[in-house]
């Protein structure tokens, strides 16, 4: 856990960080966000003593950070920056091994740990370990940067706009991976970002800063539901209700769907459904349970004709992945003019469906203040 107590940092007459106090419980992700110049990067650098405070103290796991030599402290804190900072003259494996080397780990232990990290990042070790940073794409480099920060298995991870320089498509993937890893490892993470959506998605708590002070420090739901003042509500934007939806993963709210495999007796199934009256739409799956498309049980040919009776579900706009949030679901619904969206997994298999009713239920239960 990290305790920041009454810390101030000045650059000459300018106050970068103004008497802030912050407590980040162990295992939580705290996102620091705010307009540029608000001091968020400075806070991070104060934690690992790249900068020294003018006043105040920082306690890490109960111990004053000043009790340690700066180098030693930093070797036990993972640090990821926006420009990655991978050493161009070292291979990927050598880059990852830097902090363990600084900590005088034995070579076998370093090898083991490197393999473990490759697995964690879902990157093939043989393919990547001897490559040089210039041979990696932006997203790959970033993942190696994170792996490098985790190499010594630090309890704390400091990330300063780590995904800022990555294109939006890759960024999404990186964020999802980060959440998975964080779920497993439960590190104490301080994550600086200027992207509110990213903060809402990744943060257990968000600290919104302005001109060196913390304006509000709360869970994302709280900040969205109850912004403390005009600045906060302006910052989160008028669409905060929509933003809130991105806190709700679709996998928690979807319901079971009625589906039939094409290899089964489709006609009989459709007949039964017609007799029961509902549901009207039924999902057609292939032999491997992959979604083909919806079938209107009231308007089918007998015998069932695949060509004419199914709206093929190739278009991704009509489906949503199980890793998505309710926000994407709503977006699809509005975009396609439909009220129900099927949920598929990585292999395109149908795992459930979600309708506008579920979303309404969620929003009713947590009404926002005006």
Partner 1 sequence: MLKSPIKTFLRRSAGTILLAGVFVYLILDMNPWKFFLRALFPEETEWIYPRAMLIDLVGEHLLLVAISSALAVIAGIAAGIFVTRRSGRVYLQTVNDLTSLAQTFPPVAILALTVPFIGFGFKPTIAALFLYSILPVVRNTISGIGAVPAPLIEAAFGMGMTRPQILFKVEIPLAMKVIMAGIRMSVVMNIGTATLGAIVGAGGLGVPIISGLVRQNQAFVLEGALTVCLLAVITDRLISGIEEGYF
**CA dihedral for 289, 178, 114, 94, sign (positive or negative):** positive
List contacts with partner 1 (CB under 8 A).
48, 50, 70-77, 79, 81, 83-89, 98-99, 102, 148, 158
Nearer to partner 1, 48 or 319 (CB): 48
Please say which residue, 59 or 68, places its beta carbon nearer to partner 1. Answer: 68
Report the C-alpha gap between 103 and 105 in whole angstroms.
Answer: 6
To the nearest 5 percent, what fractions of the chain are helix, strand and coil? 40, 25, 35
Nearer CB in complex with partner 1: 97/344 = 97
Nearer of residues 49 and 327 to partner 1, judged by Cβ: 49
**Could you tell me the smallest distance in angstroms from the CB atom of residue 36 to partner 1?**
17
85 or 249: CB nearest partner 1: 85
Minimum CB separation of residue 150 from partner 1 in Å reads 12
Distance CA 221, CA 101 (A): 42
3-state secondary structure of 27: coil
Of 129, 131, 160, the closest CA to residue 146 belongs to: 160
Query: 10: helix, coil or strand?
Result: strand
| H/E element, 208 | strand 205-210
Nearer to partner 1, 44 or 232 (CB): 44
Instruction: Considering the complex, state which of residue 99 and residue 208 has its C-beta at the smaller distance from partner 1.
Output: 99
Contact assessment for residue 250 and residue 226, using Cβ atoms and an 8 Å cutoff:
no
From the CB of 235, what's the least distance to partner 1, in Å? 28
Which of 238, 189, 198, 233 is CA-nearest to residue 215?
233
CB of 123 to partner 1, least distance (A): 20
The CB-of-99 to partner 1 minimum distance in angstroms stands at 5
Edge-to-edge strand list for the sheet holding 205-210:
77-81, 156-160, 188-193, 29-33, 205-210, 213-218
Tell me the closest approach of the beta carbon of residue 72 to partner 1, in angstroms.
Answer: 7
Q: Indicate the burial class of 327 (C-beta count within 10 angstroms; 0-12, 13-18, 19 or more).
A: buried
Q: How far is the CB of 49 from partner 1 (least distance, A)?
A: 10
The stretches of 107-257 forming alpha helices (DSSP H) are 107-120, 125-128, 138-150, 168-185, 196-202, 220-225, 230-236, 240-245, 250-253
Report the residue number, 1 or 90, with the smaller CB distance to partner 1: 90
- In eight-state DSSP terms, residue 102 is H
- Distance CA(192)–CA(29), nearest Å, equals 10
Least CB distance from residue 114 to partner 1, whole Å? 15
């Amino acid at each position: 856990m990290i305790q920041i107590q009454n810390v101030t940092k000045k650059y000459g007459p300018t106050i970068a960080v103004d008497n802030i106090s912050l407590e980040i419980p162990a295992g939580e992700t705290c996102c620091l966000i705010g307009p540029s110049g608000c001091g968020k990067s400075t806070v991070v650098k104060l934690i690992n003593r790249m900068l020294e405070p003018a006043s105040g103290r920082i306690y890490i796991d109960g111990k004053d950070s000043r009790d340690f030599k700066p180098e030693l402290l930093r070797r036990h804190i993972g640090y990821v920056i926006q420009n990655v900072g991978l050493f161009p003259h070292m291979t990927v494996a050598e880059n990852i091994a830097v902090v363990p080397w600084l900590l005088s780990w034995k070579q076998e232990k370093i090898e083991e740990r490197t393999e473990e990290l490759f697995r964690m990042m879902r990157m093939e070790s043989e393919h990547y370990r001897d490559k040089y940073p210039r041979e990696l794409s932006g997203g790959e480099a970033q993942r190696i940067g994170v792996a490098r920060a985790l190499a010594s298995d630090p309890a704390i991870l400091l990330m300063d706009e780590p995904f800022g320089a990555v294109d939006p498509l890759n960024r999404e993937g990186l964020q999802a991976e980060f959440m998975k890893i964080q779920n497993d490892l439960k590190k104490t993470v301080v994550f600086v970002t200027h992207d509110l959506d990213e903060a809402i998605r990744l943060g257990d708590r968000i600290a919104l800063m302005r001109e060196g002070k913390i304006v509000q420090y709360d869970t994302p739901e709280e900040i969205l539901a109850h912004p403390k003042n005009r600045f906060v509500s302006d910052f989160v934007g008028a669409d905060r209700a929509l933003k809130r939806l991105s806190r709700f993963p679709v996998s928690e709210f979807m319901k079971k769907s009625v589906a039939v495999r094409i290899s089964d007796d489709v006609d009989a199934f459709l007949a039964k459904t017609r007799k029961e009256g509902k549901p009207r739409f039924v999902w057609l799956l292939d032999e491997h349970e992959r979604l083909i498309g919806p079938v209107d049980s009231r308007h089918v040919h007998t015998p069932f004709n695949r060509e004419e009776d199914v709206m093929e579900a190739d278009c991704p706009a009509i489906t949503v992945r199980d890793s998505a949030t309710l926000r994407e679901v709503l977006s699809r619904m509005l975009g396609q003019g439909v009220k129900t969206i099927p949920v598929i997994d990585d292999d395109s298999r149908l795992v459930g469906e979600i309708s506008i009713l579920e979303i309404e239920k969620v929003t009713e239960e947590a009404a926002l203040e005006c």
